[in-house]
Structure 1
């Protein structure tokens, strides 16, 4: 049988743009809230006067980051259980409210303890990342839509890293009475407020964004829980009224508005949300003469058993090759074949997960501590103030005295570059090279990036033009952004393809927990290392230690088994034809082809 590939138009047919946009508006505000702290965390900790000297600022900055990640590890599982018991939508809404509360506490903190509590609450009261991933999987139910749908997560994070540092850098005024700093058009009441609480303004602005996300989720985000999506949603009905009266958009028929003629019809009621016409639109034409289709007068024809099985095999995350739990045996290591310990420690997935742990550790450390390092005051030689206290190559102390707005501009500009990479460069690279080659190539650049960072201090001599520092920093941050945008999806794909089909959910859940633990340990450990290095005038130690971690990750990557790229893997699937109204007109068989790129994130089938 001849093989054919889906065209772009076929792949995008029926793509759930509206609901993904509603989810994206919720997700977009959260990385902004997370990254807005980076430009001013050094100054906030310094203003709390909790450290005996400036060298210890990095240690306490690490506490603020680590407590967020630690609390997120503790709460993520429970938020997932809550979403299973009460629904996805209410979970997201509570997460937005919890984040808003923590931001208000952070913005109006008068001491380190209050800021520490605020960051802890931000981790405890928000489990939206895992819930949003689940919702995307439940919104994009067709395999052909899933790769694009899930790629919105890193893209939204990149957009968040653009807006967050901008807000944190340009809305912090440490001296509201300084007319050279505070815009003249600010009302006197605002000046008095930020004179008392200099870090409240960016957090108040972020709370406003989160409230917009809350309104959006209430009015336009549909519940995706298999059970609770049939529950009446007054927020959605209000949103439908707005769509119809203001925008002239005819809303879909909601499942709670469908009244079956008798109780037996309830068992056969299809998902009304999949129909774009009316409740009387038939779900599928009765083309199979041998089928045994039971007619339901009020809803049209229902799928036959054969058609239902075909659709489930094509579009469900369940695989026909999945092994039932009762048929599993003990592995050679004495563990059950589906146990987490067996798959994490004694199978091919161990190496990509260990690499993902190291990647998460050094990336969060870079994001958190580059602004701290740049904010350290420039150290001058006490004997000759015209010279630097740092001596090339081993004695490096202090930073370059960057202010929040300078750091915010640096991070935001490179964040824009990251968005460009994800949208335009990544698809080209992904189609041209296999994921393991891409990953190994990019990981080789990280040690060089971290090796270069501390030597920016030596560009602060009076005889070196200021633009050299700007170019130097933009080259470093640009390379890091390029590597992060291209390598992070590849390690996700490597973990996915190294996991056995019957336990990918277990492995993916464990991977999220392991990466969260890295984001907890990284800032905690690096805070101590950077403080020690500053006290002993060896600031290069902290950054070169990250280079060492990257070399370990590179070594581990050569133990990852390459994904088979020989030819394309033929996969027989069942696709559905739709008419102009979006109603199903019948199943048809088609041969799809897959390669080991990000586009093959859906499970391979044997």
Structure 2
């Protein structure tokens, strides 16, 4: 087991700059996702699509499920798109797509137009999987990865503060008793009166546009084959940093990358090897196998040793594998040619199914599926449950009877729900910033995950009984404390377990297939987010109709227990390994020459040292 790092050691060399840029992109997306929660119940009810209030949950589930179903269809293709055209291009298009869909949602006058908007939001944005891949490519050292991946839930918590606040406090619906402020211009008052759900989506779109311009100007491409391609947006950002903020930008690789052919003074492997740098469209390098042998003769061994030292102190994994292949011709191996070719040539289409369902990555992906299912149901339907009117008889007594007869909700308004979710999001930020680093340094991934997942069943058991606090002899603050206890527990567990499961998936994935597996993971998680709201929309509507509202929440508790049992099948991460499967590949002898991409990450020693 690796020794525990101090905070100073863990932060040494941490890639703050690019992670901050990525964070601004990521921050805008949970705002768009969570801004709908406070008012979705009222939006569906105002569309008059549900025959009665008990059926509102079912149609709210449709809105959530169609978004997730479209993510199932598109997430893998967005991951594949980012492999071809770059991560930055995929992120930018995703932000534009989300902004467009929000405008359609804001102008919706009926349920089916809102359904179309949610479908567009799922189809036109695959940024979650792309962002996970980018973070893995930015934070390449194992000691940085847990903290880097924790930025995802941290930013979701920040978005969970702003999103519900925007959705709850910027909804002015006269039928709900909220009057449009007098300081609004006349044209805006008319627009809000005609489209009451437009203003929150306009504000969220502004956040998305800020994230888009930030990505265009300051986000660097991380794709290993495309990051040396000239980026005019980054050049414009460098100009802004230099001439407006007085910050000297770093030298970009496309400014000094030169075409080297048959450079005998600085060979890659052996004295007779030659390297050809391609043009600036791909900026990758290849070994010229037609004109020079890959393996030097025995008489060139001293020159080969010098060529190894010429790489400098830092070697990419591909270079290391190439060197080991050179000097391990006589080492026995049981690894087939196909696996070696996969390690060098990238993730083959017919291997995706194998890597997702037949390797160690299956169990963390399956746990992620279950976690996504019950958490999306909680996120979507807790506001709906709280928005149901309090079920009372003519004398003002509760119709619910402890413990089995539970119906209705507690009559929360959009601004009350928004305040609850936003303040809980603030607590989540505190957890990720202050608690997560301490916990992560003290315990391993699986210990943290397994411990906290045990709290979910208890939390779901408590949810429906908030109704029994709505009595005259019980102070109102008891309801607030009770709800914050529930939402705080969920936030604590989510903030600490989400980066752990992402890290487990990342480190269980083969290096060459991480982008594709991340895309597949998002698709599988989106499938859970499709099934969950669709199924629990029916369950909640049925349970409200038959006065057994506890059923929908207790069933979630059973689902969370399955995730706990499944987590004990996940293999722990070996903190000493830099890459999964690297050792086995590096012990292999070559059966055929490596592909031209096997040295695509090579740069001169000076460039390696500067990086």
| TM-score exceeds 0.5 | yes
Aligned residues of 2:453 and 2:493 also touching (Cα < 8 A): yes
Supply the distance in 1 between the matched residues of 2:351 and 2:357 (Cα, whole angstroms): 10
Alpha-carbon distance in 1 for matches of 2:130, 2:308: 33
Contact 1:319 1:501 in 2 (8 A): no
* 1:183 positional shift: 2.9
Does 1:563 find its partner at 2:580? no
Would the alpha carbon gap of residues 496 and 96 (structure 1) be closer, same or farther in structure 2, given more than 3 Å must change? closer
What's the secondary structure of 2:316's corresponding residue? helix
Alignment of 1:42-121 (within 5 A): 42-121=41-120
Secondary structure, aligned partner of 2:391: coil
**Deviations 1:56-80 (Å, cap 9, x if unpaired)?**
1111111111111110111112222
Mapping 1:506-585, distance limit 5 Å: 509-558=519-568, 560=569, 563=572, 569=576
Deviation at 1:495, TM superposition (A): 4.7
Matches within 5 A, 1:78-477: 78-175=77-174, 181-258=179-256, 260=258, 267=276, 304=308, 307=311, 311-313=315-317, 326=338, 350-381=362-393, 384-477=394-487
Deviation of 1:305 after TM superposition, in Å, equals: 6.7
Mark the CA change 1:555 to 1:103 in structure 2 (over 3 Å): closer, same or farther. Answer: same
Q: Report the Cα distance in structure 1 between the residues aligned to 2:334 and 2:18, rounded to whole angstroms.
A: 30
Q: CA deviation at 1:291?
A: 6.1
Distance (Å, rounded) in 2 between the aligned partners of 1:465 and 1:14: 52
Superimposed CA distance per residue, residues 343-368 of structure 1 (whole angstroms, 9 cap, x where no aligned partner): 65566555444332221111110000
Higher mean displacement: 317-326 or 7-16: 317-326
C-alpha separation in 2, matches of 1:319 and 1:556: 40
Structure 1 gaps, min length 5: 272-288, 295-302, 329-335, 574-581, 588-606
Provide the C-alpha distance between the structure 2 equivalents of 1:88 and 1:317, rounded to a whole number of angstroms. 26
Are 1:37 and 1:165, in contact at CA under 8 Å, matched by a contact in 2? yes
Contact persistence 1:32–1:164 (CA under 8 A): yes
Gaps in structure 2 of 5+ consecutive residues: 264-274, 281-300, 325-332, 341-347, 583-605
How far apart, CA to CA, are the structure 2 residues paired with 1:537 and 1:319?
69
Q: Quick check: 469-478 or 426-435, which moved more?
A: 426-435
In structure 2, distance between residues paired with 1:5 and 1:531: 50
TM-score, normalised relative to structure 2: 0.79
CA 1:10–1:447 in 2, change beyond 3 Å: closer, same or farther? closer
Q: Residue 322 of structure 1 contacts residue 501 of structure 1 at CA under 8 Å; is this kept in 2?
A: no
Choose 147-156 or 430-439, whichever is displaced more.
Answer: 430-439
The change in CA–CA distance for 1:482 and 1:221 in structure 2 (over 3 A counts) is: same
Q: Is the 8 A contact 2:399 2:407 kept in 1?
A: yes
Q: Give the conservation status (yes or no) of the 8 Å contact 1:177–1:195.
A: no
Determine the C-alpha separation between the residues in 1 that align with 2:385 and 2:509.
39
Q: Which residue of 2 aligns with 1:275?
A: none
Q: CA RMSD in A?
A: 3.8
Q: How far off is 1:232 after superposition? A: 3.1
1:220 offset after TM fit, Å?
Answer: 1.5
Indicate conservation of the 8 Å contact 2:168/2:418, yes or no: yes
Which string of whole-angstrom CA distances, capped at 9 and with x for unpartnered residues, describes residues 447-468 of structure 1?
1111111111111112221111
Q: Which moved more, 1:117-126 or 1:6-15?
A: 6-15
Separation of aligned partners in 1, 2:239 and 2:16: 20
Q: Distance in 2 between matches of 1:491 and 1:322?
A: 31
Q: Secondary structure at the match of 1:267?
A: strand
Map of 1:38 onto structure 2: 37
CA distance in 1, matches of 2:72, 2:419: 31
Which structure is higher in RCO with an 8 Å CA cutoff and minimum separation 6? 2
